[in-house]
Chain A
Amino acid sequence: MGNDDAIKEEVSFTESVQYAGLAFGPLAILAYLGIVLTRVFTDDVSVTKVAWQGPMLLVVAIGGGLYGIGYGIARLVHKGRVDDARDKEIERYAQSINGGLVGLTVFVSIILLALNVEPFWVANNLFLGSWFASFVSTAGRVAAYREGIPS
């Protein structure tokens, strides 16, 4: 039979990247929060005085590095198309979700700055807010792949 419907529908390359992101993204955030909160208790400082810069840079560098390597390998190994018009369209849809949430995060940051809070809160608000936006938009991508882009 000339139709390959019988073949289990594996997901496209870009879609599988999303599942990886959903799985590993939270791990990175948990690592960051874990390190920072541990420091709050062991260094016995107030939350805002904690040395958060190092952990943040570390998590971003290591997380980003691992992601880059993993993605690079997966991309080299993959045969066939990596993305097509539908992938790009879903990407655009996800970007609009991402942009909206990041915008909200930025708005909150401006308010925090106006209230003259410690830079700790501003930076963490942006960091966690951006991460959350990325997570939600990735979930949106998965929904779009499985059920279609909502109109």
Chain B
Amino acid sequence: MVGKPTHVTNSIRQLRFAANEMTQADLAERVGVTRQTIIAIEQGRYSPSLEMAFQIARAFGVPLDDVFQYPETDH
């Protein structure tokens, strides 16, 4: 399987729409990355670093847990 099989999911798209319909480009600018990287994160093709994850949460003014979710697993 290609691509990081990360279990982390995110609500970035919903948060953007809720935040006055922030565009991907806007968010990218605030976080200091390219628009393509935001797209890749939203689509689960890229796992941001912890720092970047915090910066994204900060851009929305919400806690980390509101942006990124990790499933309850039994292992």
The chain A residues found within 8 Å of chain B, CB to CB, are 1-5, 9, 11-13, 15, 80-81, 83-87, 143, 145-151
Contacts and interface: CB of A to CB of B under 8 A. Distances in A.
B39 interface: yes
Interface of B: 2-6, 13, 16-17, 20-25, 28, 32-37, 39-40, 44-49, 52
Nearest to A5: B24
Contacts, number: 75
Given A86-B36, A87-B37, 20 more contacts: A1-B21, A2-B20, A2-B21, A3-B16, A4-B25, A9-B36, A80-B34, A81-B33, A84-B32, A84-B33, A84-B37, A86-B40, A145-B40, A146-B45, A147-B45, A148-B4, A148-B45, A149-B3, A150-B3, A151-B4
A143 B46 CA distance: 12
**A-side interface mostly:** loop
Contacts of A145: 36, 40
